Structure formats: C-alpha cells, structure tokens
C-alpha cells in the first residue's frame, strides 16, 4: 500500500478533463505529496497546542482596540459614496430608487450592543468553523482554504483564494505590527523612555511624507518572530502557549477589575442605531475573529490531524467568543460609548477606561503586558500560516519552487518564512495603514464562503471518503455560512470592495502570465 502511494506521488498529475482552470487535485495525491521526504514537515503539534495556536491568532490587538471603535461608530470628514456601506446602498436603491438617504460619511454606532455584534460574528464564524473542521480532517494538508479549493472547485478558484489569503495575512499582520510599534512607543513614553519619532513612526501617512526614516519597533518585532519561526514549529508553539496564557490572564484581570467599575446606566441606550449598528459593528469587529482558520494551516505538522484539527478550530472559537463578549459588556459598562469616538480612547479603549477611572497601577500594567502579548502571538501565528500557504502554492507550481524549500536541519519552509517576514516587516516600517482591517475582513469572508461551498461539493462528489469530523445538516449549515458571510461583507464600505477587486485583478494577471504555465497540470499536458 505504501509502495503504491509513493509511485502515485512520483507520477505527474492526470491531465484534467476540460479546462485547466477547473482542474482539481486528487486528495490522495495531495496527501502523498506531503509525505515526500523533500517536502515533509515535522509533526509536533497536539490538540492543546493547536487550540492555543487558534487563540493566539484570534486574540490580538482587536480586543484591546476595535471594541471601542465599533461601539462608537466611525465618521469621515468628507461625505463620499466610497464611505457608504454596500448594504445601505442596496437598501436605498430598493426602497427609494436612489441613494439620497444613505449614510456616506461613516458607520452607525453599535453602542453596548457591540456584545451582540460579537455574538453575531461568532455565530457566522461557527458555521464556517464547522466547514473548516470537516475539510481539515479529510485533507490534512498545509494551505488551508487554498488546498481545499484546489481539491473541490478547481485550479482557478484555488489561485484566487490563495491570492486572497495572502491579502488577509499580509494586511492583517502589517496592521498588528504597526499597532504594536505605536503601543510600545506610548508605553515606553509613560515610563520616561521616549523613542525618536524619526525611527518609531510611519514614513508615509495620509498621502504625504512625515519626515520619519523608518518605524523600527514595527519592523523589529516581525524580524524577531521570523527568526523564531525559521528555527522550528515546536519552539514557536511553545512560545505561543506562554503568550496565550499571559494574555488570557490579562483579559481575566480586566474582567474582574473593570467589573467593579461598571455603572449599569452606561448600557442605556443599549442599541442606539438599532440592528444596522449591530451589523455595522459586526463588520468592524470581524477582524478580531480572523485567525481560527490559521489552525488548518498547521495540518501537516499536527500529530493526529483528523482528530486534533477540529478540536483546535472549534475550541479556539468558543474560548475567544466568551472572552470577547465579556470584555465588550464590561468596557461599555465602564464608560458610555461616545467616549471612544476619537483620540487615545479610540486607539486603546481598554487601557484608557482603566486609566480614566483611576484603576490601580498594577492592573493597568497587567493589561498593557497582555495587549503586547496579544499582538505578538497574533503576529507569530499569522506569519506561520502565511508561510505555509506560500509553501503549498509553490509545491503545486503556482509560485516559484524557492517558496517550498524545506530547511535541512529545522524542517521548516525557511525561504517562505523569510520572504513573508520582509513582506510584512518592510511595509510596517514605512506605512500607516488606514482602513486595512476592512480589507483583511473581506478577504477572510470570501475564503470562508468558498470553504463552505467546498464542503457541499465534496459531500456530493466523494461521499464515501473518510471524514474525521462531519458538519451536521449538510447542505443547510454550509449554506447558512455562505449567507452570513455575504451579509457581513455587505456591511463593509464601497471603497473596501473596490480595493478587493483591484487586488484580485492583479492576482489574475499573475496567474495567467506565470502560474498557469508552471502549474503541475500545465506540466502534465506538455508531457
């Protein structure tokens, strides 16, 4: 049996029936390729490490930053259709035949109902999480949604989702790295250590040069984590476990200390903008849930992926949802939502609320450390996942072979890891990324949508294949996931959709001029 599998892995892929664009990869071949000595990754991760990996990715800067922003809403100084929500535009056109009633200068405030926004997003993510768990248990291969799409929908969809995931991982990590740099600079200043602005602020901000040379703190944290990831996944996972424990401890500390400073009157009005505010808040805080899908990128390094991957995906979602809802209820009970509209209150609402209400210094220090650990662990997991996606795409010929090279000693995709590090570190050292969270959100929601469709396709085309975990009530649960993802995407701004389509357009140009001609299917057709 093992000999047959090895022979199959050495053979070129079968020529696709019909167009190469819709050619699908055999799941058996995918698994056989992963076991090839040149590409084999070291299997060291168990269920607890995978769950911690998910928590490390999900709980980053968002819980300490975006909660206040989503509760208070957003306002732009210049009204523009580009700053309107797609959902509002559609509703305005259907009801009134025009867009005159559409809010074009921001998003409505969710208020204390931001807790419902977190639950709404968790509800949407839970259906997508179930779909990820099923596909991860039957296709335990690095690459996450990219690999699943290649096996279920075809090469062009795999490329689109792979390119989309690059957007998700790079943009989200640039945002977190910049946030880490700004947070570190501010906290050092509170202790009398002032970093020079020329070496700790963005070079390019709001369309103009700032006079700074480079944002060293933002770049340095990415560089250090890249070195750690090249050294090995075991060492990276152990470091992540420690950071996850610290930041969960910080959140629990906030819930206790903040809970004693809650004034119930601050919860009124609970939903100042009604359901529109809840949906708008959900579109903003969706960024805080990005990360559970990164568990599936660790499939080839899991000891027992069929059992452990579903545990890691679903377990991390449950833990993080409980913490998010708790933080939002306490934070909006400490201060009224309009307080988080701008300034320091918008940039660091949790730290601001504690300081404003004169909480003891010890609790404030714990929150600061927890916030920093949250950002670092989120960066670590996303850099890890990003390199694995590039590795998988390279192994299939869609990226240059350099990206799938494995270090002889550390057994990690070292070139992918280094390139991913500089792809995030250099932009983080130069730019101030505005509205980037939304760009990452739309990319992730699109990935969730395709994964959900992939479950339906595989249930029809390969019903007999063994599944370590099964989504109940197929096709209804995957279809609910699709509807909820589309709903959350409609809560994003028009400009976010335009940027997303531009990014996909660039990706399609690369595919048709390079990747399509280097794909394994293209190679097999020339044989």
CB 437 within 8 A of CB 67: no
3-class SS of residue 85 = strand
pLDDT greater than 60 at residue 139: yes
Rounded-to-5 percentages of helix, strand, coil across the chain: 70, 0, 25
Q: Residue 204 forms beta bridges with which residues?
A: 209, 431
pLDDT in tens, 332-372: 999 999 988 876 677 678 878 888 887 777 877 888 888 88
The pLDDT of residue 70 is 82
pLDDT in tens, 188-215: 877 788 899 899 888 887 667 888 899 9
Tell me the CA distances in angstroms from 263 to 71, 267, 335, 336, one per residue in order.
17, 8, 8, 9
Fill in the DSSP letter of residue 493. Answer: B
- Residue carrying the six token digits 């072979």: 401
Rounded to whole angstroms, the Cα distance separating 168 from 166 reads 5
pLDDT in tens, 453-479: 999 998 998 888 888 889 999 999 999
The rounded mean pLDDT for the chain is 83
The pLDDT of residue 61 is 65
- Does 143 or 270 have the greater pLDDT score? 270
pLDDT in tens, 21-77: 888 888 888 777 766 666 567 777 888 888 888 888 788 766 777 788 788 887 665
CATH number for 2-73+108-526 (one of 3.65.10.10, 3.10.20.30, 3.30.420.40, 1.20.1740.10): it is 1.20.1740.10
Long-range contacts of 126-129 (CB under 8 A, 24+ apart): 126/314, 126/317, 127/452, 127/477, 127/478, 127/480, 127/481, 127/484, 128/293, 128/448, 128/451, 128/452, 128/481, 128/485, 129/292, 129/313, 129/314, 129/317
Rounded to whole angstroms, the Cα distance separating 181 from 170 reads 16
Strands, E assignment, 13-75: 74-75
- Does 13 or 25 have the greater pLDDT score? 25
Q: How do 208-209 and 204-205 pair as beta strands?
A: antiparallel
Distance of CA 312 to the CA centre of its chain: 15
Give whichever of 311-320, 401-410, 504-513 has the largest mean pLDDT: 504-513
Long-range contacts of 522-527 (CB under 8 A, 24+ apart): 522/20, 522/397, 523/12, 523/397, 524/12, 524/13, 524/14, 524/15, 525/15, 525/20, 527/12
The two tokens of residue 14 are 């079968």
Task: Let me know how many helices (H) and strands (E) the chain has, helices first.
Answer: 21, 4
- Does 97 or 369 have the greater pLDDT score? 369
Q: What is the mean pLDDT of residues 129-142?
A: 85
Interaxial angle between packed helices 436-461 and 274-285, expressed in degrees from 0 to 180 and rounded to the nearest 10: 90
Contacts of 366 (CB under 8 A, 6+ apart): 249, 250, 253, 254
**Degrees, nearest 5: CA angle 280-283-284:** 90
Provide DSSP, 202-255. Answer: -SEETTEE-S----HHHHHHHHHHHHHHHH-HHHHHHHHHHHHHHHHHHHHHHH
- Does 264 or 76 have the greater pLDDT score? 264
pTM for the model: 0.80
Rounded to whole angstroms, the Cα distance separating 365 from 128 reads 36
Rounded to whole angstroms, the Cα distance separating 16 from 150 reads 12
Q: What is the mean pLDDT of residues 419-430?
A: 93
- Does 433 or 469 have the greater pLDDT score? 469
The pLDDT of residue 355 is 80
Which element (helix H / strand E) includes 55? helix 47-58
Rounded to whole angstroms, the Cα distance separating 324 from 333 reads 14
The two tokens of residue 13 are 């892929």
CB 234 within 8 A of CB 418: no
- Please name which of 376, 371, 60 lies closest in space to residue 240, comparing C-alpha atoms: 376
């Amino acid at each position: 049996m093992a000999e047959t599998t090895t022979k199959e892995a050495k053979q070129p892929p079968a020529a696709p029936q019909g167009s190469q664009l819709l050619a699908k990869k055999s799941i058996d071949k995918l698994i056989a390729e992963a076991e090839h000595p040149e590409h084999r990754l070291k299997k060291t991760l168990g269920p607890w490490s995978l769950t911690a990996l998910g928590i490390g990715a999900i709980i980053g800067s968002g819980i300490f930053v975006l909660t206040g922003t989503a509760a208070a809403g957003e306002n732009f100084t210049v009204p523009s259709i580009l700053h309107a929500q797609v959902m509002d535009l559609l509703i305005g056109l259907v009801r009134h035949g025009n867009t005159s009633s559409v809010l074009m200068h921001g998003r409505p405030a969710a208020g204390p109902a931001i807790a419902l926004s977190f639950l709404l997003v968790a509800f949407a993510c839970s259906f997508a999480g179930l779909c990820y768990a099923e596909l991860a248990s039957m296709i335990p291969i690095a690459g996450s949604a990219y690999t699943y799409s290649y096996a279920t929908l075809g090469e062009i969809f795999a490329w689109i989702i792979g390119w989309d995931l690059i957007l998700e991982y790079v943009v989200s990590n640039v945002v977190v790295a910049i946030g880490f740099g700004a947070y570190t600079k501010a906290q050092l200043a509170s202790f009398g250590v002032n970093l020079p602005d020329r070496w700790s602020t963005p070079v390019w901000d709001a369309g103009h040069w700032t006079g700074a040379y480079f944002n060293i703190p933002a770049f340095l944290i990415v560089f250090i984590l890249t070195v750690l990831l090249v050294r090995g996944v075991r060492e990276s996972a152990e470091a992540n476990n420690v950071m996850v424990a610290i930041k969960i401890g910080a959140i629990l500390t906030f819930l206790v200390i903040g809970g004693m400073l809650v004034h119930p009157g601050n919860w009124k009005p609970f939903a100042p903008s009604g359901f529109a505010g809840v949906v708008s808040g959900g579109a903003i805080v969706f960024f805080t849930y990005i990360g559970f899908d990164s568990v599936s990128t660790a499939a080839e390094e899991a000891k027992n992926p069929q059992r452990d991957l579903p545990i890691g995906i679903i377990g991390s979602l449950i833990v993080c949802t409980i913490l998010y809802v708790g933080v939002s209820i306490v934070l909006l009970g400490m201060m009224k939502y309009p307080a988080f509209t701008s300034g320091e209150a918008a940039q660091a609402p949790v730290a601001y609320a504690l300081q404003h209400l004169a909480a003891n210094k010890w609790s404030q220090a714990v929150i600061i450390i927890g916030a920093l650990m949250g950002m670092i662990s989120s960066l670590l997991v996303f850099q890890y996942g990003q390199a694995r996606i590039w590795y998988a795409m390279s192994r299939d010929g869609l990226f240059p072979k350099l990206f799938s090279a494995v270090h002889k000693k550390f057994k990690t995709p070292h070139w992918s890891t280094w390139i991913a590090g500089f792809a995030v570190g250099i932009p983080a050292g130069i730019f101030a990324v505005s509205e980037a969270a939304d760009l990452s959100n739309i990319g992730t929601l699109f990935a969730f949508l395709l994964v959900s469709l992939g479950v339906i396709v595989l249930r029809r085309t390969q019903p007999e294949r063994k599944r370590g975990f099964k989504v109940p009530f197929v096709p209804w649960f995957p279809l609910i996931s699709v509807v909820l993802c589309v709903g959350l995407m409609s809560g994003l701004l028009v400009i976010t959709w335009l940027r997303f389509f531009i990014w996909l357009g660039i990706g399609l140009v690369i595919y048709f001029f390079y990747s399509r001609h280097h794909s394994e299917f293209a190679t097999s057709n020339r044989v």
